[in-house]
Amino acid sequence: MSADFLQFLFSGITVGATYALVGLGFSIIYNASHVINFAQGEFVMLGGMATVFFYGAGLPMPLAMAMAVAMTIFIGMALEKFAVEPAKGASIVTLIIITIGASIFLRGLAEVLWGRNFHSLPPISGSDPINIGGALVLPQSLWVVGGTIVIVITLAWFFNRTMTGKAMVASASNPLAARLVGINLKFILLLSFALSAMLGSIAGILIAPISLAYPGVGIMLGLKGFCAAILGGMGNPMGAVLAGLIVGISEALTAGYISSAYKDAVAFIIILAVLFLRPNGLFSTGGTERV
Amino acid sequence: MKPGLFRHLTIAAAAITMAVGVSNSDAKAADPIKIGSFLAVTGGASFLGDPEKKTLEMYVNKINADGGVIGRKLELILYDDQGNPANTVPFVKRLINDDKVDILLAGSTTGSTMAAIPFVEKAGIPFISFGGAGVITSPVKKWVFKTPHTDTLAVQKIFTDMKARGISKVGLLSGSGGFDKSCRKQVQTLAPGSGMTVVADETHGKGDTDMTPQITKIKGTAGVQAFMYCGFGAATSIVAKNYKQLGASMPHYQTHGSASKSFIKNAEGGAEGVRLPAAALVVVDALPASHPQKKVAGAYKAMYESKTGDSISSFGGHAYDGLMIAVEAIKRAGSTDKAKVLAEIEKTSNFIGADGIYNLSASDHLGLDEASFVMVEVRNGDWKMLK
């Protein structure tokens, strides 16, 4: 029984870590612009798909990964430059709709470019499961979890210790004051799209050996990541990470112990409950309403 | 619209030929036979509509290059309904009332087919659908046929194989798509009559990336003898990978939804030993030379793959069979008189297609049986036909 529990738990942590990475991307862009970027799931898809195809074209794996990340960052910046920035001054809802349009466009582009079939990426360190207390875990799951931890630590350092990171935090909490002290808000917005495209593509590469890569892979991951971001308190990156894990683990435990039919409902029930009880998110300290 | 322009061009062309006096005296005979179609060429179901469209276009051109049917050329009038029934209805009306088509070879999805049926029945036009579900031809509708196998046949085929191996208790996992749900329903409906018990019935969501909790639960269910998965697309490979990860050893069955080479490739070894019913077309290379469909399916595969550069799927085969059944019926009828063509379609017997061997009648508008599936097992990364 405890082996089963561990199995469910590891499944939940792996899935939760991917939700967390996607949720982080949502949070970062929201912080810089108050835009909810619904193309976040497509960044994940692009990371995985591009790696598959660069690798398939004969590039060595590390180079293929780097190229895929670079390409996704470029697309993220292009999205900001050519779709979000020209609509500056438009309402937030308009901007959100623009990102939905961008997500459909990117999915269509991937279908045209790479076909509609699904593809796999070889796992980084083999596919022989590791036995942990009776639960069988794929090495790739550890890569996903490990990758998430590294990214979270790096981001924490970036936001708290570097001038650019601090500038991002500053413009998130008070755009006007940030501009007055000489922070280039345009650049920060561009940077936030680049950063979340990078996060998305890294997540896509890490999970591609598990989730496979296909044009539609980002739809559900994007939605679940969005749930994580809301649950963690929109714009609270660490909250998004914890919330992603909570959603992933509760899904796995529901599937394992109650019924898999209710698995997907769990995430949304948690969100509804949180929106009722703690509208600012599970991990917000509350009180500081930003206008 | 392009089709309209095309129509004008053909009329103009017909007028010119008549003026020059090359054509035969009967102007009617020079009119093209109009084949109407609405397919999910784009959108979520485009994996169905795209190969269907390519197949229809490819073979209509080929037939025309070979001199057409009963001395007349074929003209394909095709609209993209994106698999959305709401789009289908205006297209069906246009095909019937404006384009005045002779026959309909259309409907990538069950939804768009069902939406079209009332209009087709009222207008009285033979309609061969490429939609999957059994509801299209059961109960029989006068003017409506379909070429794809149903999931009923697939599940029967699987149960037959299980019974032969002494398996009677099945643990079922299914996805949340239309195909998955319909398959699950068939399993539940057919199990009692086949002496099968579904001891575990788990599901997973759309786009899920890890099914180990469900498989762990099924593995731990008391008495379970075999694992069966109803699903489609990337999830088929993920399930096979998870199954291997968990070291499960009982027989593993999937459906014709998994019958593609990408299932094997992307499962990375997890597909080894998986048994599934497949259309002869998909596993044509694994068929013995004596198999009746080897020649037809092989020729279609060679043509499709060389012309499009895509790899074969069973979906294009549905369109191939539909077109060929229609062409044969029109040849036998000697005209495009709708009632005559309908009668001839119903007389189709022992027609060897890519999907199976069709025996249609007034009471059976599908014409396929369990034998249209081949039971295969994945061995060394390829299909191996089971006896």
Are both B2-149+296-369 and B151-286+372-385 of the same fold?
Answer: yes
Q: Are A23 and A241 within 8 A, CB to CB?
A: yes
pLDDT band, residue B312 (cuts 50/70/90): confident
pLDDT at B243: 94
Average pLDDT (B81-96) is: 93
Q: Are B15 and B269 within 8 A, CB to CB?
A: no
Angstrom distances, CA of residue B338 to CA of A39, A49, B116, B341, B344: 50, 48, 17, 5, 10
Specify the DSSP element, H or E, that contains B116. helix B110-123
Average pLDDT (B115-122) is: 94
B chain contacts of residue A261, beta-carbon cutoff 8 Å: 203
pLDDT at A291: 45
Mutate to test the interface with B, among A117, A121, A217, A249 (most CBs of B within 10 A): A117
Specify the DSSP element, H or E, that contains B215. helix B212-219
A chain contacts of residue B213, beta-carbon cutoff 8 Å: 7-8, 11-12, 252-253, 255-256, 260
Phi, psi of B77, deg, nearest 5: -115, 110
Q: Rounded CA gap, A107 and A222, in Å?
A: 13
What percent helix, strand, coil does chain B show, rounded to 5?
Answer: 45, 20, 35
Q: The complex's ipTM?
A: 0.86
pLDDT at B5: 55
Average pLDDT (B207-234) is: 92
pLDDT band, residue B24 (cuts 50/70/90): very low
Mutate to test the interface with B, among A105, A112, A120, A141 (most CBs of B within 10 A): A120
Q: Rounded CA gap, A85 and A166, in Å?
A: 22
Q: Which of B44, B205, B268 sits opposite A120 (nearest CB)?
A: B268
Q: Which of A11, A18, A129 sits opposite B213 (nearest CB)?
A: A11
pLDDT at A14: 93
In one-letter notation, the amino acid at residue B24 is N
Residue B262 to residue A252, Cβ atoms within 8 A: no
Average pLDDT, chain B: 88
pLDDT at B188: 95
A chain contacts of residue B272, beta-carbon cutoff 8 Å: none
Q: Are A42 and A103 within 8 A, CB to CB?
A: yes
pLDDT band, residue A268 (cuts 50/70/90): confident
Q: Which residue of B has its CA nearest to A265?
A: B205
Between B4 and A183, residue with greater pLDDT: A183
Q: Rounded CA gap, A212 and B365, in Å?
A: 39
B234 to chain A, closest Cα gap in Å: 6
Predicted TM-score (pTM) of the model is 0.82
Q: Are A244 and A14 within 8 A, CB to CB?
A: no
Q: B203 by DSSP, 3-state: which? A: strand
Q: Does B381 touch chain A (CB under 8 A)?
A: no
CATH number, span B2-149+296-369: 3.40.50.2300
Q: Which of A117, A118, A138 sits opposite B245 (nearest CB)?
A: A138
> What is the C-alpha radius of gyration for chain B, rounded to an integer number of angstroms?
22
Q: Which of A123, A214, A256 sits opposite B213 (nearest CB)?
A: A256
Average pLDDT (B230-241) is: 91
How many residues are present in chain B? 387
pLDDT band, residue A264 (cuts 50/70/90): confident
Q: Which residue of B has its CA nearest to A219?
A: B207
**Which DSSP string do the residues of B328-360 spell out, in sequence order?**
HHHHHHTS--HHHHHHHHHT--SEE-SS-EE--
Q: Are B183 and B174 within 8 A, CB to CB?
A: yes
Summarised one tens digit per residue, pLDDT across range B41-59 is 987 788 889 999 999 999 9
A chain contacts of residue B207, beta-carbon cutoff 8 Å: 216-217, 219-221
Using the predicted structure, report yes or no on whether residue B149 has a pLDDT greater than 60: yes
Average pLDDT (B251-279) is: 90
Q: B229 by DSSP, 3-state: which? A: strand
Summarised one tens digit per residue, pLDDT across range A77-109 is 999 999 988 987 788 889 889 999 999 999 999
Q: Does A129 touch chain B (CB under 8 A)?
A: yes
Using the predicted structure, report yes or no on whether residue B227 has a pLDDT greater than 90: yes
End-to-end C-alpha distance for chain A, whole angstroms: 50
B chain contacts of residue A225, beta-carbon cutoff 8 Å: none
Between B120 and B372, residue with greater pLDDT: B120
Residue with tokens 């990964």: A65
Summarised one tens digit per residue, pLDDT across range A137-179 is 999 999 999 999 999 999 999 999 999 999 998 988 888 999 9
B189 to chain A, closest Cα gap in Å: 19
A chain contacts of residue B214, beta-carbon cutoff 8 Å: 255-256, 260
Residue A157 burial (CB count, 10 A): 11
Using the predicted structure, report yes or no on whether residue B183 has a pLDDT greater than 60: yes
A131 to chain B, closest Cα gap in Å: 10
Domain boundaries, chain B: 2-149+296-369, 151-286+372-385
Q: Rounded CA gap, B264 and B273, in Å?
A: 11
pLDDT at B346: 94
The verdict on domain B151-286+372-385 having CATH code 3.40.50.2300 is yes
A chain contacts of residue B212, beta-carbon cutoff 8 Å: 7-8, 10-11
Q: Rounded CA gap, A147 and B143, in Å?
A: 58
B47 to chain A, closest Cα gap in Å: 7
Q: Does A207 touch chain B (CB under 8 A)?
A: yes
pLDDT band, residue B6 (cuts 50/70/90): low
Using the predicted structure, report yes or no on whether residue B29 has a pLDDT greater than 60: no
A11 to chain B, closest Cα gap in Å: 7
Q: Is the dihedral of CA B292, B295, B296, B301 positive or negative?
A: positive
pLDDT at B178: 77
Q: Rounded CA gap, B208 and B193, in Å?
A: 32
End-to-end C-alpha distance for chain B, whole angstroms: 52
pLDDT at B309: 85
Written as six digits, the tokens of A38 are 């619904």
B chain contacts of residue A253, beta-carbon cutoff 8 Å: 213
